[in-house]
């Protein structure tokens, strides 16, 4: 990632002392969009920089686990498989000439072999999800929830038949689980939600995840929104992957290892190596302190208690 504007990281921007510079609208707005809440918990520090300070980062794309040969990078390969999957769900043909014309395949025999291999992977994933999406996509649900000092509004579109089903043709990441969990809570708390919310499902290439119903979903959602409101005032010491490791009881050393990643591996997408995290916490030796531990447990323990994966 690169910062798109000229910033002197040591002097120009104090990202850890910004609360006094926020307008009252930024700091205390009661109306929150569901899409913004999902974006925030996927990458809290990036959201803070972009939406509070106006510092926009150039995204080079998410590094996916599936390393494909030839000229496609990881994000291009994921987008290709995702597009093929959507065509397959709609019953549309997948022809090599279509993708050659788009210029997304390697040339010659290598391109044909790559296309066949990719189609086979997409077909295998489609077989996994077909029983859940065979009824077709249902009408979207409007979420409109009022809590203590906030109102959450948005649209949930991942309704297939009578259940909420989210799928990703790649391995399930912690941020995917958090997104699905927040949508699950939102549907539980929404009076307009008429689906079988007790069977929310998240499917990846590596696992199926089911969410059970907590006794007080509104209280859990309220705690997450409080963290959101705090996190738009100052960088939050919460990192989806490293925080999950800590909340699972694996200890701070394992969380630190997850946070720092493997610098040798070109597939590493560690949170501690991201530009937004480096910028927000450049004054600290590590942001994995007591606050990190508390926030990790606060967010992840309710998820872990109501999550089943196989």
pLDDT digits (tens, 9 = 90+) for 169-221: 999 999 999 999 999 999 999 887 777 666 789 999 999 999 999 999 999 99
How many CA atoms, within 13 angstroms, populate the side-chain half-sphere of residue 79? Answer: 12
Which residue from 194, 69, 67, 213 is spatially nearest to 138, judged by alpha carbons? 194
DSSP state, 51?
I
| Cβ-based neighbours of 230, under 8 Å, separated by 6 or more | 236
276 and 154 both lie in a single domain: yes
Phi, psi at residue 187, to the nearest 5°?
A: -70, -40
Give the model's pLDDT for residue 103: 87
Taking the model in full, what pTM does it have?
A: 0.85
In the chain, what percentage of residues exceed pLDDT 90?
70
Number of domains in the chain: 2
232 and 174 both lie in a single domain: yes
201 and 84 both lie in a single domain: no
85 and 218 both lie in a single domain: no
Number of C-beta neighbours around residue 182 at 10 A: 22
Please identify every stretch of the chain with a pLDDT value under 70, giving residue numbers as ranges.
1-29, 59-72, 196-198, 263-268
165 and 221 both lie in a single domain: yes
Measured CA to CA, the distance from residue 244 to residue 251 in angstroms comes to 11
Phi, psi at residue 279, to the nearest 5°?
A: -70, -45
Residue 114: give its domain's CATH number.
1.10.10
Confirm if 282 and 252 have CB atoms less than 8 A apart.
no
Residue 15 lies in a domain: yes
* Residue span of the structural domain in which 29 resides: 1-63+136-310
């Amino acid at each position: 990632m690169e910062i798109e504007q000229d910033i002197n990281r040591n002097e120009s921007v104090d990202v850890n002392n910004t609360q006094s510079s926020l307008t009252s609208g930024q700091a205390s707005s009661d109306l929150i969009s569901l899409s913004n809440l999902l974006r925030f918990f996927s990458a809290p520090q990036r959201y803070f920089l972009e939406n509070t300070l106006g510092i926009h980062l150039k995204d080079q794309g998410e590094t996916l686990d599936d390393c494909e040969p030839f000229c496609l990078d990881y994000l291009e390969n994921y987008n290709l498989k995702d597009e093929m999957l959507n065509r397959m769900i709609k019953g549309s043909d997948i022809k090599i000439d279509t993708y050659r014309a788009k210029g997304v395949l390697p040339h010659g025999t290598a391109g044909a072999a790559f296309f066949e291999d990719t189609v086979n992977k997409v077909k295998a994933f489609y077989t996994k999800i077909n029983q859940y999406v065979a009824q077709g996509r249902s009408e979207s649900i409007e979420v409109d929830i009022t809590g203590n000092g906030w109102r959450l509004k948005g649209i949930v579109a991942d309704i297939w038949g009578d259940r909420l089903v989210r799928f990703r043709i790649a391995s399930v990441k912690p941020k995917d689980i958090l997104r699905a969990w927040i949508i699950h809570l939102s549907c539980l708390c929404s009076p307009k939600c008429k689906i079988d919310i007790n069977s929310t499902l998240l499917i990846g290439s590596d696992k199926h995840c089911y969410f059970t119903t907590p006794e007080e979903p509104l209280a859990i959602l309220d705690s997450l929104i409080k963290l959101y409101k705090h996190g738009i005032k100052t960088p939050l010491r919460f990192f989806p992957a490293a925080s999950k490791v800590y909340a699972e009881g694996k200890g701070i050393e394992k969380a630190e290892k997850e946070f720092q990643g493997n610098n040798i591996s070109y597939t590493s997408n560690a949170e501690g190596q991201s530009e937004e995290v480096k910028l927000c916490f450049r004054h600290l030796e590590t942001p994995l302190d007591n606050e990190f531990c508390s926030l990790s447990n606060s967010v992840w323990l309710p998820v872990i208690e109501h999550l089943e994966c196989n």
